[in-house]
Amino acid sequence: MNIVILAAGMGKRMNSDLPKVLHPLAGKPLLGHVIDAALSLSPSKLVVVYGHGGEKVRTAFAQTEPPIQWALQSPQLGTGHAVAQAVPFLDDGQPTLVLYGDVPLVGQATLQRLAEAAGADDLALLTQVMPDPTGYGRIVREGGRVVKIVEQKDADPQTLQLQEINTGILIAPTARLKTWLSELRNDNAQGEYYLTDVVAAAVRDQVAVNAVHPLALWETLGVNSKTQLAELERQHQRNRALQLTEAGVTLADPARIDIRGSLQCGRDVSIDVGCVFEGKVTLGDRVKVGANCVIRDASIGADAEILAMSHVDGALVGVNARVGPFARLRPGTDLGPDSHVGNFVEFKNARMAAGSKANHLAYIGDAEIGARVNIGAGTITCNYDGANKHKTVIEDDVFIGSDTQLVAPVTVRRGATLGAGTTLTREAPPDVLTVSRARQLTVPGWQRPVKKR
């Protein structure tokens, strides 16, 4: 099928310089959600009608595969006028589905049902029954059959009592749609060319008009304000949380989780409150995530534990590892099995092998750490000389005392011990103690200064 996505609106009520369809929902632009839904149907042609925001919108989706066809709507004279801009790209031999860039949660299953209702020759509408339909176009039926759609501003009091509304999403035979679009008039309350008028044209031409309801009300809700955006965000997160719990994940509170990307969980995973998952995250079997963690583009191995308030970004965490609380793993971190990274410890572009520990108040950057290493509190790798980064290598079974500075590039050989307070600038040999600190001095008769009266 052909799919046309209308994404030209300004979104005045958003009160923002960002084009409405680029506002994020679950970390992805609104339009991105609609494009994903469209691509799930494997369309032969995908056309996005853009206008407000122009090149910003096109640039945001320049890498989409397969490539999008772009149709400019300028000026913006209504939904019918918008679809007409896509006409040159449409294949007459395929039906055309119309979607909206600010209706982000419409699902693949609902769209497939709509396509089945249309078949090759009929027109199918996605409609909804709402207790309060204010603001929506009303579906008018005669003898149970849809005969037309009347917009709110053009409706008489009797029509305003109707509760079945038009969501705007429809699918129609393309050759006929092109004819109906060419016949649209703008003699209405808004002076616009309404796409909804093609329904009356279809009835006139004796084309069946079939109505399909979505599987859930929230699928057809649009975004016109930051309030509506926030409401849809929470709905989307509730949906994701339900999917997780149905799959066996334990959530301390399903209302307090945010997934802004993909989250894949093994068996018996548990997630405490306030956690945020961004990008692509994988949690292995029996992983435990403590409260208020942020995990982005990371893989956490089976039986690992991420304690409260930790940030894991672009990192690999090994089987049975323990991270946090208040730890930060930055991109390029790779922790081996049974390793520990404790409170107020930061890793960046560093590998640490099995059984090694950095439990307190350390910074480890651009480092290669072997197995069974103990890194004492206050240890830092001095990896940056003001212009370039340098590497620290710590071999297996090393013990590093507290408050040690490793001035890279430097190597600590296997089994070495560094005494507390050492500033290491040369290689530390294996299996011996290396220490560098000033000699301790006691000054007899020294008096501590006192404040003057």
Half-sphere exposure of 372 (CA within 13 A, CB side): 6
Only one residue has tokens 């004492």, namely: 376
Do the beta carbons of residue 240 and residue 255 sit within 8 Å?
Answer: no
Do the beta carbons of residue 381 and residue 355 sit within 8 Å?
Answer: no
Alpha helices by DSSP H, listed for 247-310, are none
Do the beta carbons of residue 258 and residue 277 sit within 8 Å?
Answer: yes
Query: Which residues touch 353 (CB under 8 Å, ≥6 apart)?
Result: 336, 339, 369, 370, 371, 373, 396
| 390 flagged as catalytic | no
Tokens of 13: 């009520």
Tokens of 20: 């409405």
Residue tagged active-site, from 52, 340, 360, 390: 360
- CA 146/CA 157 separation, integer angstroms: 19
Q: How many beta carbons lie within 10 A of that of residue 320, not counting itself? A: 18
Tokens of 269: 């995973």
- Picking from 215, 260, 213, 251, the residue whose alpha carbon sits closest to that of residue 233 is 260
Element (H, E) at 45: strand 45-50
Do the beta carbons of residue 169 and residue 114 sit within 8 Å?
Answer: yes
Q: Strands 423-424 and 405-407, how do they pair?
A: parallel
Do the beta carbons of residue 282 and residue 301 sit within 8 Å?
Answer: no
Query: Which residues touch 212 (CB under 8 Å, ≥6 apart)?
Result: 110, 113, 114, 117, 124, 125, 126, 127
- CA 280/CA 273 separation, integer angstroms: 20
Helix (H, G, I), strand (E, B) or coil at 114: helix
Positions marked catalytic = 360
